[in-house]
């Protein structure tokens, strides 16, 4: 079984592949919640899940016939029980705006830890089951404008290594 899939965001085909992979992985977390690591210098909203034909109504009928953005879908899975570890570049307005919007969507019991650092360059979305990593920031520009490469990894050993590294590298401040 191939445990890695490279996606080239060099046009509409790659953009569609990324949306399908990202949307599928995030909706899977609605069924099997687990910790999500989002590490990216720059983060902004972008369309992820196309529900205009109603294919995803079984997961959440309130979505209606429309496209769902990354922020909304991420909020849905965090509200559904997925702890979120969010690491972004300090002083970046788009990331702060994304986080503020996300926090506005979260329920009071949502488990989220936030860290802004000066030297973030890694770009990864990581859980115990999958990792999406590459040159792409998790932004509209990164997913729809720039020519980026990302790899979907299902290799448990590689994922475990990144999880251990992130746990060691990113010390979140205690939150009251």
The residue assigned the tokens 């569609």 is: 16
Which stretch of DSSP H or E encloses residue 29? helix 12-31
Q: What digits encode the pLDDT tens for the residues 101-116?
A: 999 999 999 999 999 9
Domains and CATH numbers, the chain: 4-169 (3.30.870.10)
Average pLDDT over residues 45-62: 89
Furthest-apart CA atoms within the chain: distance in Å: 45
Count of Cβ atoms closer than 10 Å to residue 104 Cβ: 9
How would residue 176 be classed by pLDDT, with cut points 50, 70 and 90?
very low
Burial of 113: CB neighbours in 10 Å, binned 0-12, 13-18, 19+: middle
Burial of 176: CB neighbours in 10 Å, binned 0-12, 13-18, 19+: exposed
Sheet with strand 4-9: strands edge to edge: 4-9, 148-153, 131-134, 124-126, 36-39, 84-89, 112-117
pTM: 0.93
DSSP structure string for 78-106:
HHTT--EEEEEETT-HHHHHHHHHHHHHS
């Amino acid at each position: 079984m191939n445990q890695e899939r490279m996606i080239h965001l060099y046009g509409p085909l790659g953009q569609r592949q990324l949306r399908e992979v990202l949307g599928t992985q995030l909706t899977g977390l609605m069924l099997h919640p687990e910790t999500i690591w989002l590490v990216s210098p720059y983060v902004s909203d972008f369309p992820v899940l196309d529900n205009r034909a109603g294919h995803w109504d079984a997961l959440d009928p309130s979505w209606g016939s429309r496209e769902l953005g990354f922020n909304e879908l991420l909020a849905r899975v965090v509200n559904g029980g997925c702890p979120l570890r969010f690491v972004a570049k300090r002083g970046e307005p788009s990331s702060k705006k994304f986080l503020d919007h996300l926090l506005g969507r979260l329920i009071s019991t949502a488990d989220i830890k936030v860290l802004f650092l000066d030297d973030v360059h890694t770009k990864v979305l990581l859980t115990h089951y999958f990792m999406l990593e590459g040159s792409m920031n998790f932004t509209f520009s990164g997913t729809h404008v720039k020519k980026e490469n990302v790899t979907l990894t299902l290799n448990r050993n590689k994922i475990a290594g990144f999880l251990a590294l992130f746990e060691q590298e990113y010390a979140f401040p205690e939150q009251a």
